Amino acid sequence: MKWLLFGTIVGIIAIILIAQFWPTITPIVRHVNPKAEIERLPLPSYMMTLVLNPFNSLIMRNYTAVENEIKILSQAYIPDRYKFIIDRFNNLLSNISNFLAETEDFINKAEELIYFGSYDDAKELLMEASFKLTLANITYLELKAASEELAKSFNLPLIEIKDRLNKIAKIIELLYEKIMNLLKSIEKQKILKDSFIIIDVQPRKIWTGGNIEIEGRLYAEDHPLSGKIVQIYLDGIKFTEALTLEEGIFKIKLNIPYIYKPKISIQARYIPYEDQPYKPSSSNIIEVELIYIEPRIIIDVIGDIIPGKSFLIKGIIENAGPYDYINISWAGLIMPIALQNGKFSSYLKAPLAEGLYPLKIEAPSHEIYAPAQKIVYIKVNKLPLNVKVIFPSLVVAGFPSNIEVLYEGEKLNIKAIFAGQVYSSSGNLSISAPLTALSGYYNCEVYISSHPWYKELYLKESILIINPLTLFPPILIIAFTIRAFKNKEKFIETIEVPKETIKKIEERSFISSSLKWLIELYWRAVSIISKLTGIEIKPSMTMREYLALIKLDALKKFFEILTIAAEKALYSKKISNEELNSARKAFEELNKA
């Protein structure tokens, strides 16, 4: 039976567990197990596009784009076993792009130097360019091998990659040719005559927007160069041209634009045409000091800046120009503000979110008045809510309790969640626990908000719920138990028999003294029988039961007579003299045995 019980339990548990862990049949497929999915290589046609993109950018000599394309390529899914292939390819492609970019940069600078006649410096740069191009060429050879490996690993068509590689080789060739041509042109220009140019500027200090006069002379080693065009550069930017007259002298009056910087540089340059047998030349640089008025903005933000509320800004512009407005940029808006006697003031609205916001004030430029700008960062802070919340420490289910909200002035929006119920109020909150709630600690969440310029307040407190309704049954059980125990004790008390009565019963239960000898005889007979048979009388046995156990036929007869007599003496009291005699004889017979 025990095994049956065990088997049944195990069987039921097994069935339920199998049901528990049996895969749930879900008709909707929403996802796949990431670890169970077979790894897949990127689609070759798409991968090809991704690989060709940096090549194409390189061929178009958009070196910045090459870097971006490589970055995108490196984000494609590459299995770990192929990572080194793609990394090598990307590195080589990036290197070749950098080398070609540097080569082109050197060539461009060299060209500029040649233009201005710095042949030695240009030559040096061209040598650098040549070195970088050599590195690019070596990298190209490595890239060729890496591309083949890449194509093989990702099943990409090699023809298109080879086509791009050939185009890169062509670029290297072209750049090499360009370097050689530039070097040749340097050698060719070395045989040209040197030219010289000197200038003087008057006055050296003027108000911005004022006039200056530039006078200069252009000449070769042994003769002046007249009828030549000289370019005038203002702060490195070509500003105007002048024609050399007799003796190579040129003179020009310049109206300086309104520039608001302390100094500007003036230089003249001579760039000969190809048919002219002179080298280009640059003049000395003359610095001209500019005078202008710099306005100064002073701004004052009045009061606290709180979300959603307007605030006042006041300011003054010292040395302001004859303009009547300034521009203010605030919270993404640019607005003109009127200027009165160099003073301004305006109300601005603070954004609803807290944070640090820039306020930019711009005064425009006007002739000798330079523009002015000032940026101040304004901190928008919400005000703390001056609210005190007093939670009840205990709530009796079914009876309302108050959450006291002490505050001054402001209109509040109070929300609370307690024991599965949502409360809202604008002042004190009356909360209550439903009668279905069991006793215990419950969280009470309170969220207090007010105007947008006040910080929200979020509080959480544990409140004890005592539910008399749910407490009643256990109290009832306890009461019944106590009562039951008390009743039992009473019952025990009532059935307690006085000792005297027990004594009486005991006395009554024993045989009269005249028959005691018979009982003694019986017990002696029992002792004899037990010795002969080895069967001992147990306290639980009746005289008859013991007699029934005795199998000695010869003696059983005597023991039976003695037993019956003893029984009668004990329980019946009605015993004849004959029976007593028979009992005595029976014992004698037993004693002989």
Window contacting other proteins (CB under 8 A); options: 159-167, 178-186, 281-289, 468-476: 468-476
Return the number of other C-beta atoms located less than 10 Å from residue 139's C-beta.
Answer: 23
In eight-state DSSP terms, residue 507 is H
C-alpha torsion sign, points 543, 545, 548, 552: negative
Is the previous residue joined to 203 through a cis bond, with omega within 30 degrees of 0? yes
Alpha carbons within 13 angstroms on the beta-carbon side of residue 26 total 7
**Count of residues in the chain:** 593
Considering beta carbons, is residue 77 or 115 the nearer one to other proteins? 77
Is 47 a binding residue for other proteins by CB under 8 A? The answer is yes
Is 76 a binding residue for other proteins by CB under 8 A? The answer is yes
Is 440 a binding residue for other proteins by CB under 8 A? The answer is yes
> How far from each other are the two terminal CA atoms of the chain, in whole angstroms?
52
Window contacting other proteins (CB under 8 A); options: 22-30, 280-288, 336-344, 379-387: 22-30
Window contacting other proteins (CB under 8 A); options: 283-291, 310-318, 333-341, 444-452: 444-452
Q: What is the DSSP string of 549-576?
A: H---HHHHHHHHHHHHHHHIIIII----
Considering beta carbons, is residue 257 or 440 the nearer one to other proteins? 440
Closest CA to 59 of 197, 205, 167, 180: 167
Shortest Å, Cβ 529 to other proteins: 20
Q: Are 475 and 430 in contact (CB under 8 A)?
A: no
Window contacting other proteins (CB under 8 A); options: 10-18, 139-147, 317-325, 353-361: 10-18
Shortest Å, Cβ 520 to other proteins: 17
Shortest Å, Cβ 472 to other proteins: 9
Q: Are 344 and 326 in contact (CB under 8 A)?
A: yes
Q: Reduced to 3 states, what is the DSSP secondary structure of residue 510? A: coil
Which residues, numbered 484-543, are part of the site for other proteins (CB under 8 A)? 505-506, 508-509, 539-540, 542
Among 92, 130, 295, 445, binds other proteins (CB under 8 A): 445
Among 421, 426, 428, 591, binds other proteins (CB under 8 A): 421
Strand 237-243, strand 249-255: pairing = unpaired
Window contacting other proteins (CB under 8 A); options: 73-81, 187-195, 278-286, 306-314: 73-81
Among 571, 585, 588, 591, binds other proteins (CB under 8 A): 571
d(CA 423, CA 572): 88
d(CA 24, CA 16): 14
Q: Reduced to 3 states, what is the DSSP secondary structure of residue 349? A: strand
Radius of gyration of the chain (CA): 59
Size of the site for other proteins (CB under 8 A): 68
Strand 394-396, strand 457-466: pairing = parallel
Window contacting other proteins (CB under 8 A); options: 43-51, 243-251, 320-328, 374-382: 43-51
Is 115 a binding residue for other proteins by CB under 8 A? The answer is no
Binding site for other proteins (CB under 8 A): 1, 4-5, 8-9, 12-13, 16-17, 19-21, 23-24, 26, 28-35, 37-40, 42-43, 46-47, 49-50, 72, 75-77, 415, 417, 420-422, 438-440, 445, 447, 449, 456, 458, 467, 470-471, 473-474, 477-478, 481, 505-506, 508-509, 539-540, 542, 544, 571-572
